[in-house]
Structure 1
Amino acid sequence: MDYKKLHDFVAKNQKNICQITVMKKGNLVYTDTWNGFSENDNLHIASVTKSIISLLIGIAIDRNLIIDLDQKILDFYPDYQIKRGEKTIQQIRLRHMLSMTAPYKFKSEPWTRVCSSSDWTKAVLDLLGGRAGITREFKYVTLGIQVLSDIIYKTSGISTIEFANRVLFSPLGIKARIPYIAKNKEEHIAFITSKESRKGVWLCEPKGIAAAGFGLCMSSMDMAKIGQMCLEEGVYYNQKIIPSDWIKEMRSPFVQCGERFGNMAYGYLWWIIDSKNNVYAAIGDGGNVIYVNPGKELIIAVTSTFKPAVFDRIQFICEYIEPMVC
């Protein structure tokens, strides 16, 4: 592998990449940094956070904290006051939330309405449902899955971050994450758009519930460990962390997403790159990625600074990085 060639190519063609870590057959084969970052720096990995939430839901099911994916969302909110005339929210299940097929009463996500509220989960519940009913239509949302983080808190009795630290991060040798609450809109925007190194934090809403759709900060080495555990079907250094059945289920295509999403399929908060070969990925805004290719026993983790409309990162991985290491 020509390390200098890859480094120079990334510096010229993928200018917001900060870290890349590659593991092959369980061994670290490549790690590099750009833009003044070190390999231990943490960056906001955006929607890769969603895929971490999926892993935590799988662990919660394994520990009988959640019965199964057919549990209705309102089972966890018996005191929620349903809006007059609403007949759909009652039918929404965990499976719909994880597969992005839950129905919502909006065309575009109301960020200000939700993120300025004192209770993001309540704000999201008020947006679930609608007249169309359960259609299984794919609707990619970031705020809507906030209820999943809240359900982890409700069923485990500890914060989502503490649950993640205990059952996922610590077993993988990842340092504990700590909560961060933005005090106002300006701090919230700065958190998302900042190009500075972060501490190991996870953005939380005002009540302290970790954001489910974004907000987690990690290094590419941390992400590679998560990918390696997934590649080994939920096992890491002979320690079972997540049932293999959950890994297989979450990476199985549930819905086809169409041209807007690169004709990829979607499992349970993981993108399916190649269903025939079980290649899948966690993908976040700016081009943050955990890429898992079981057939090649390959993990590629990429962290990036905020940059809108980065749509070629998986193509870059498949066409450039993967051939160089395989």
Structure 2
Amino acid sequence: MNHNEWPIGQERHADSASTDMDLDKLSGLGAVVTSEYSNMNGLVMVRNGSIAHESYYNGYGPEDKHHVASVTKSVVSALIGIAIDRGDIPDEHVNVLDFFPEYDFDRADKDGQRGRITIRHLLTMTAPYPFPDWQEPLDKMCMQSDWVKYALDMLGQNGTIGAFKYATAGAHLLSAILTRSTGKSAREYANEYVFRKIGISEIPDYGMTAFGFEELFGSEVRGWVHDPGHYSTGGWGLTLTPREMARFGELYLNRGKWNHAGVISESWIEKSTAMNPNQYGYLWWLREEEGIRTFSAIGDGGNMICCLPDENLVIAIASSFMVNPSDRWPLIKQHIIPAIRG
């Protein structure tokens, strides 16, 4: 994908021949977004390597960064795969506690359920935690001086290994494992081994001096948030433009290659996006519906990188945070997929 060919403007379309999209069917998107998706600020569609549609709302433009929330998790998944490919981490079946020898867990922990939890369990959200499903007390982790210890203390408590439970704490442990294995923060590792290679601008260190809500989640977040131990937040905290989100999705559609050069191994892409009963891969959400197969990076507020591999289409949506935003899938299913030709 050539950055210089991407159009600039509030709503622009590429030539329909290059994208094989029915642009007339996309012409009403603006009205739909304005009326039904009020916190959506940017929408970029890339098909066959070219922009099919690009539009911005609420005063935002193509250069504006957005806190993409849990989309960050899918980036961390890519980094773990690269670290395994490079030999920095042996494989995804290594036990999590092996990376944290200074935390004094007793023999019962190491021999019991907590000691059997692997990197793969964190990637697939199949590690047990004490909180009810979808009720993770994320605010409590953010109030700790040592987020890693807090996450480890919760790990393996209640439940059984293999049952799906969405947990941001596990994604943060993956960030810590990456740093302990490579000597680089997730932000540094991503800049060196992903972003620089696919044309995404350098992600700066977010110079945090406090760890309140605004510093961690607010609209002024820039770069990539880190915890008090300076580990990049594994479950949220990354800021990207809609175009940069689309580039990351294109990397996955291209099976880990960019300009014919390998960035992520094809085998990692396959494992990350292979359908399973939980409909969740290696920190990617999976969907098969009416013959349409997708894998998506999804973040709170309605941020999304939706990849349709069979259609060679990426849809990147950047949004401002709001409680209970409208589900983006109906927009994709009802107004974007019908425009696909060929």
Give TM-score, length-normalised by structure 2. Answer: 0.86
> What pairs up with 1:40-189 in 2 under 5 angstroms?
40-82=63-105, 85-86=108-109, 87-107=112-132, 108-134=135-161, 136-180=162-206, 182-186=208-212, 188-189=213-214
Pick which of 246-255 and 55-64 moved more.
Answer: 246-255
Alpha-carbon distance in 1 for matches of 2:218, 2:144:
21
Alpha-carbon distance in 1 for matches of 2:108, 2:98:
19
Pick from 264, 268, 284: which aligns with 1:242? 264
Alpha-carbon distance in 1 for matches of 2:325, 2:340:
23
Alpha-carbon distance in 1 for matches of 2:158, 2:54:
50
Alpha-carbon distance in 1 for matches of 2:89, 2:136:
28
Q: Aligned partner of 1:223: which letter?
A: M
Mark the CA change 1:131 to 1:28 in structure 2 (over 3 Å): closer, same or farther.
Answer: closer
How many positions carry a matched residue from both structures? 313
| RMSD value, Cα | 1.9
Contact 1:181-1:206 at 8 Å conserved across structures: no
Which stretches in structure 2 are left out of the alignment for 5+ residues?
1-22
| CA displacement at 1:179 relative to structure 2 | 2.3
Pick from 33, 56, 61: which aligns with 1:33? 56
Residue 213 of structure 1 pairs with residue 235 of structure 2:
yes
Residue 266 of structure 1 pairs with residue 266 of structure 2:
no
In structure 1, the residue matched to 2:313 is 298
In structure 2, the residue matched to 1:5 is 28
- Among the aligned pairs, what percent are the same residue? 35
Q: Aligned partner of 2:287: which letter?
A: I
Contact 2:208-2:215 at 8 Å conserved across structures: no
Which stretches in structure 1 are left out of the alignment for 5+ residues?
257-264
In structure 2, the residue matched to 1:259 is none
Q: Deviations over 1:297-326 (max 9, x none)?
A: 111100000012235212211221222354
Mark the CA change 1:35 to 1:251 in structure 2 (over 3 Å): closer, same or farther.
Answer: same
Contact 2:80-2:178 at 8 Å conserved across structures: yes
| CA displacement at 1:268 relative to structure 2 | 0.7
Mark the CA change 1:133 to 1:300 in structure 2 (over 3 Å): closer, same or farther.
Answer: closer
Give TM-score, length-normalised by structure 1. Answer: 0.90
Q: Deviations over 1:94-145 (max 9, x none)?
A: 11000000011233323233111122111100111125442x1110111232
Alpha-carbon distance in 2 for matches of 1:36, 1:155:
42
Q: Secondary structure at the match of 1:123?
A: helix
Mark the CA change 1:84 to 1:58 in structure 2 (over 3 Å): closer, same or farther.
Answer: closer
Mark the CA change 1:122 to 1:14 in structure 2 (over 3 Å): closer, same or farther.
Answer: same
